[in-house]
Amino acid sequence: FLVMSSPSLFISWVGLELNTLAFLPILLSKKNKLTSESSIKYFLTQTLASVIVIVGGLILLVLQTELSMTVVLFGLAIKLGAAPFHSWLVTVAESLAWAPLFVLLTVQKLNPLFMIWSFSQINSNFFHLIVFSSLVVGSLMGLAQTSTRALITFSSISHVGWFLTGMAFSLETGLLYFLIYSVVLLAPVLLLESTNMSHINQLPLIPVKLQNQCILFFSLLSLGGLPPFLGFLPKWVI
């Protein structure tokens, strides 16, 4: 709410920091070395991105050039996990439980999205580079994955390209895409959590209930944006 309602880059930055600090305990809900390592990576990456955002703000105060907005966008793209700054997201996602992963891929993207819409140059070449590389990297790198967490994460990186494309048209379009994506992502995440499935080759081991298999395949088709499923609607709007 602080980020959403703030007219000031500095107050928005404070909101980003509060959000990062609040998410760290959720990351550490599983007590093992892997989670501790991923939470440190998350913290360091977010800190680096925050420093870049605040440097962009300071350049804006002094020079008021296009460069400052590009620096702010660079920092926010790292926070968003957009390609080509996505490698931290995949590393962190691999060691998370499903509920924190869902939060990381949905709620945690809201603040950078609002800030990109408010404080960045949405029609700059750098913005278009981020959109295009997110769409390409998310789609192609997903083909090489066998881990379900990595697959969902690369799918999310691809969808970030769509979020940003929506934001380029209007805030409402970007938020519509974001909300429908969050709803559509919830079904496969809950199903993968209930079946405790970590790798694609475990798919045949799902308890043989037609209902389970139908829900999983329909929700994945919807996540891919195929008509006539719900996931196709926001792509059609854009």
Q: What is the pLDDT of residues 223-238, one digit of tens each?
A: 999 999 999 999 999 9
Measured CA to CA, the distance from residue 72 to residue 147 in angstroms comes to 33
Residue 208, pLDDT above cutoff 70: no
Average pLDDT on 115-129 reads 89
Which residues, including other chains, have CB under 8 Å from residue 7's CB and lie 6 or more apart?
A: none
Secondary structure of residue 96 in the 3-state scheme:
coil
pLDDT value at residue 28: 82
pLDDT value at residue 147: 92
14-41 residue pLDDT tens: 999 999 999 998 888 766 777 788 889 9
Spatial contact of 10 and 57, defined as CB atoms under 8 Å apart: yes
Indicate whether this model's pTM tops 0.95.
no
For 225-229, the CB contacts below 8 A with 24+ separation are 229/184
Residue 6, pLDDT above cutoff 90: no
Measured CA to CA, the distance from residue 65 to residue 46 in angstroms comes to 25
30-77 residue pLDDT tens: 667 777 888 899 999 999 999 999 999 999 888 878 888 999 999 999
Measured CA to CA, the distance from residue 106 to residue 1 in angstroms comes to 16
Measured CA to CA, the distance from residue 134 to residue 164 in angstroms comes to 10
Residue 203, pLDDT above cutoff 80: no
Average pLDDT on 113-131 reads 91
